[in-house]
Amino acid sequence: MMKTQSCVEVKNEWGIVAARQAGRSLSKEIGFGSVDQARITTAISELSRNIYLYAKRGEICLGAVERPTKMGMQKGIQIIARDHGPGIPDIRQVMTDGFTTSGGMGAGLPGVKRLMDEFLIDSETGEGTTITTTKWLR
Amino acid sequence: MEQTVQNLEETYKSILQTFLNRKSEQGLYEAQQFSKVLLEHQISPEELVSIHRAVLEELYPSVSVEIVDSLDLLLEVMMGYGLAYREHQSLRDRQIELESQINVAANMQQTLLPKAVPTVDQLDIGVISVPANKMSGDYYHFIQDENECVGVAIADIIGKGVPAALCMSMIKYAMDSLPEQRLQPAALLENLNRVVEQNVDDNMFITMMYGSYDPRTHDFHFSGAGHEPGFFYKASSDQFEELYAKGLVLGVSKRVKFREYSQRVDQGDFIVLLSDGVTESRIGDRFVERAEITNLIRKYMHLSAQELVESVYYELAKLQEFILKDDFTLMIIRRKV
Amino acid sequence: MNLSIRQEKNEDVVVLYLSGEIDAFTATKLREELIPLAEMGQTVRVDLSGVDYIDSTGLGVFIGALKATHITEGNLTLVGMSTRIKRLFSITGLDEVIAIDEEGSK
């Protein structure tokens, strides 16, 4: 599904900035407006911060995607956040609003989910976490 | 959705234009009203900054690039507010859902309480029960048999919500379906204790006082399971005594025996049963003293039992600015003749 | 609304020093410390000298711990109760099922 893919390693705050940069360029290229660019970049920011804070290192992979619709092919951006950190013991808890360990209102995974269109989370304690999220161009 | 945003952009443009031409309070008021429209359409903060930027560039094509760029930064900062705003929306929806569930449970609970106070020739009975929140943990029940014996129960169910309401129906059922036990309060509590212990969570328990008044002998036989002691008013000495029945709260131990007590009730005497919402009323920083409660009862003693309990409630609630920390239940059973 | 818990181990007795209030807000904190000890069959002394208020939710925690010790043959003793709290345990009849040490906090 991913046409082109580039990955950015996240192991410090520079990695977060680099991932944001890559996300902004790609979303601009795909044709997202400035507000959606900000949303996508914020989603990448949150996901990379989680990697940096909890798993210490991981990667953000970005790619343009396409899907067929009644109106023709629809373009979108897909973000895959991957780490081999401790994993999330209670996924339901982290997906619930109001739960946050790093402070900041409204941030966290439910926040990311609301910024994007599709959201998939997979995590295993001791193995790591993979989050795949997509936003489609309207 | 696109259509609506277009219209909103147009409206915002006209509001901004009017305001910039002539800065007036009215212009600002229009903007404030428009803000409500934006919220109704769930326009997030970052979207508004984007709208502002587009409108600004449209109205002033020669606006400096720094000003326009600064709005990019503003947009990024507003993202945080946008996230918080969306979380707030989500939590509000969840709260509405939860409140409707609570309303259903609270209505269920209402149906378990007695519809009316029993009418007995000899007795004047008054009761008031006010929950601190939507769901009450306090429960009371009356039963009467063919001999005109009146059974009264008052209970405080520790634990909230639907499990507490289920406990209430257990108590009601136990009382309504065991006629021989009515004159044996200890046996009734033992029975209930077994049922409660088997069916409730480890952290839940029930305090309860149950008694039965026999109009033939004018005796009140009663037993208690860890419940807040009530009062007994003796008309002949014009004194209040503690009405205490020692016993273990229900639901803790499988095999418990309850002690049965007996109190002779003469004409003019009355029994006061209450929940700890009464004795834990706060006056400022401290708890109310039991003597203060009897003084209040004394003050309104000349009234009917129902008026009496309502007046005492009103005074104690007033001291707490009508915000109850715990469910408040007060019952008075007076022998008239 | 605030509760602080300090745990100390004296040979094979675990002592929990509590300070503040045990109510609906703080009961979970107490539950998380006390119940696991009871479930492990531990001998536990809970020192309530610093506690000025317990509500029914708080009592529920002690009842839960008591039930756990019955299953695991653990041991629960409460010490340092204020007059008000002592009265609460007396009225609820819990003073006849939970060990209460009047002699103080050692």
Percentage of chain B beyond pLDDT 70 is: 96
Instruction: Let me know: does B130 contact B324? Beta carbons within 8 Å.
Output: yes
Residues of B in contact with C69 (CB under 8 A): none
Is residue B177 very low, low, confident or very high in pLDDT (cuts 50, 70, 90)?
confident
Task: For B43-64, write each residue's pLDDT tens digit.
Answer: 999 999 999 999 999 999 999 9
Residues of B in contact with C94 (CB under 8 A): 226, 248-249, 252
Q: Output the pLDDT for position A4.
A: 65
Q: Output the pLDDT for position C73.
A: 81
Averaged pLDDT for residues A100-110: 69
Structure tokens at A57: 């290192």
User: A135 or B93: which carries more pLDDT confidence?
Assistant: A135
Is the Cα torsion angle B86, B92, B94, B97 positive or negative in sign?
Answer: negative
Give the distance from CA C38 to its chain's centroid.
11
Is the Cα torsion angle B255, B151, C91, C61 positive or negative in sign?
Answer: positive
> What ranges do the domains of chain C cover?
3-101
Give the Å distances, CA to CA, from B214 to B152, B262, C53: 12, 11, 39
B146 in contact with A, Cβ within 8 Å: no
Is residue B295 very low, low, confident or very high in pLDDT (cuts 50, 70, 90)?
very high
DSSP code string of B300-326: TTTS-HHHHHHHHHHHHHHHTTT--SS
Long-range interactions of C67-72: CB distance < 8 A, separation 24+: C67/B202, C67/B252, C68/B202, C68/C35, C68/C38, C68/C39, C69/C38, C69/C41, C71/C39, C72/C38, C72/C39, C72/C40, C72/C41
Averaged pLDDT for residues B188-192: 89
CATH of C3-101, one of 3.20.20.140, 2.50.20.10, 3.40.50.150, 3.30.750.24: 3.30.750.24
Mean pLDDT of chain B: 89
Is residue C106 very low, low, confident or very high in pLDDT (cuts 50, 70, 90)?
very low
Instruction: Let me know: does B127 contact B331? Beta carbons within 8 Å.
Output: yes
Instruction: Let me know: does B34 contact B40? Beta carbons within 8 Å.
Output: no
Q: Which of A35-39, B97-101, B135-139 has the highest mean pLDDT?
A: A35-39
Contact C91 B203 (CB under 8 A): no
Q: Output the pLDDT for position B180.
A: 62
C64 in contact with B, Cβ within 8 Å: yes
d(CA B306, CA B151): 18
CA distance C23 to chain B (A): 12
Give the DSSP H or E segment for B233.
strand B230-234
d(CA B115, CA B112): 9
In total, chain C counts a number of residues equal to 106
Q: What is the ipTM of this complex?
A: 0.86
Interface test with B, best of A20, A32, A35, A71 (most B CBs within 10 A): A35
Q: Do chains B and A touch, with touching meaning 3 or more CB–CB pairs less than 8 Å apart?
A: yes
Is residue A3 very low, low, confident or very high in pLDDT (cuts 50, 70, 90)?
low
Instruction: Let me know: does B185 contact B179? Beta carbons within 8 Å.
Output: no
Strand extents, DSSP E, B66-184: 123-130, 138-144, 150-158
Give me the residues of C, 18-37, that contact B with CB < 8 A: 31
CA distance C95 to chain B (A): 9
Averaged pLDDT for residues B56-83: 93
Residues of A in contact with B72 (CB under 8 A): 34
Q: Output the pLDDT for position B1.
A: 46
Nearest residue on chain B to C56, judged by CA atoms?
Answer: B158
Residues of B in contact with A111 (CB under 8 A): 83, 86-87
DSSP at C11: T
Q: Angle formed by the axes of helices B2-21 and B25-40, to 10°? A: 170
Q: Output the pLDDT for position B162.
A: 65
| Residue pairs spanning B and C at CB distance below 8 A | 51
DSSP code string of C24-67: TTTHHHHHHHHHHHHHTT-EEEEEEEEEEEE-HHHHHHHHHHHH
Subunits next to A (3 or more Cβ pairs <8 Å) are: B
pTM of this prediction? 0.69
Interface test with C, best of B203, B325, B327 (most C CBs within 10 A): B203
Give me the residues of B, 163-202, that contact A with CB < 8 A: none
d(CA A32, CA A47): 20
Residues of B in contact with A41 (CB under 8 A): 76
Residues of A in contact with B45 (CB under 8 A): none
Task: For C32-49, write each residue's pLDDT tens digit.
Answer: 999 999 988 889 999 999
C95 in contact with B, Cβ within 8 Å: no
Is residue B301 very low, low, confident or very high in pLDDT (cuts 50, 70, 90)?
very high
Q: Spell out the residues 6+ positions from residue C24 whose beta carbon is closer than 8 angstroms to its own.
A: C55, C57
Instruction: Let me know: does B210 contact B171? Beta carbons within 8 Å.
Output: no
Asked whether residue B181 carries a pLDDT value surpassing 60, the answer given is no
d(CA B33, CA B13): 15
